[in-house]
Amino acid sequence: GVVMVAATLGGAAALLLGQRSGARRHTRVARERYLAHLEGEREELRAAARRQAELAAAIHPHPGTLRGLVAEPGRLWQRRPGDPDFLQLRVGLGTVRRAVRVALPAATDPLDPRDPVCRRSAELLVARYSDLPNQPVVVPVAVAESITVVGAPDDARWVGRLLVAQLAGLHSPDEVLLAICCPRRAGRRWSAAKWLPHCLGTGGRDRGAPRTLAADSLEGLRGVRSEEHTSELQSRETIS
């Protein structure tokens, strides 16, 4: 009887060890397959990020390339009111949301049998590929009531000139007007901007030249716009 009991217990132990070994082997194989799947997802996310960055660089180019860009056929004043990038002006670089992201469903079941190694790898993938750094940051000028640039004076003026350059180079004066309000003591910094076609009125003239939409105060600018609007109405009445 003792030999038989011993043999039975030994057989049960061998069976249990075999089952555990088989379960570990199954877990290892499943884990390797899932990690390989995550690596494939990672490559697709990297490719999508490259495409997103290339498109953003083409739509919102570096300020240093703007002068040469508008000299290319078809690029000057290329943005139209129906375009998604109309009056979307670049102000710098920053972190933006990725166009293609991955999400992980929440593990709400406390008895969820998912492998913790696979789960952690997936969580790291989601966290790593949610945002995209060093991308153009734009301001939607068309829907903004006002835009304030805060910072050191030289930096603020640089951003302001950048906005004006994009507005004038990428948008037609038939669709966008630019009015300059600048105190006289700083007028020389913006003196060239008032001769942009976007800053020239169409309803009247100053001593034979088109009226410039520029003034050294808000009250003066309102007066210029009022005169411009009145001249436009008179011109339309004359034509009709």
- Quick one: three-class SS letters along 176-190? CCCCEECCHHHHHHC
pLDDT at residue 12 tops 60: no
In terms of Cα–Cα distance, which of 76, 41, 31, 230 is closest to 167? Answer: 76
Please count the residues of the chain.
240
Q: Which tens digit of pLDDT belongs to each residue from 141-198?
A: 988 878 888 899 899 889 999 999 999 999 999 999 888 888 877 767 888 888 899 9
Average pLDDT, the chain: 79
In this prediction the pTM is 0.70
Q: Which tens digit of pLDDT belongs to each residue from 46-78?
A: 999 999 999 999 899 888 888 888 888 788 999
Residue 224: the pLDDT is 75
Residue 146: the pLDDT is 83
Higher pLDDT, 22 or 172: 172
Residues 6+ apart with CB under 8 A from 83: none
Residues 6+ apart with CB under 8 A from 34: 115, 118, 121
Q: How confident is the model at residue 109 (pLDDT cuts 50, 70, 90)?
A: low
Q: How confident is the model at residue 4 (pLDDT cuts 50, 70, 90)?
A: very low
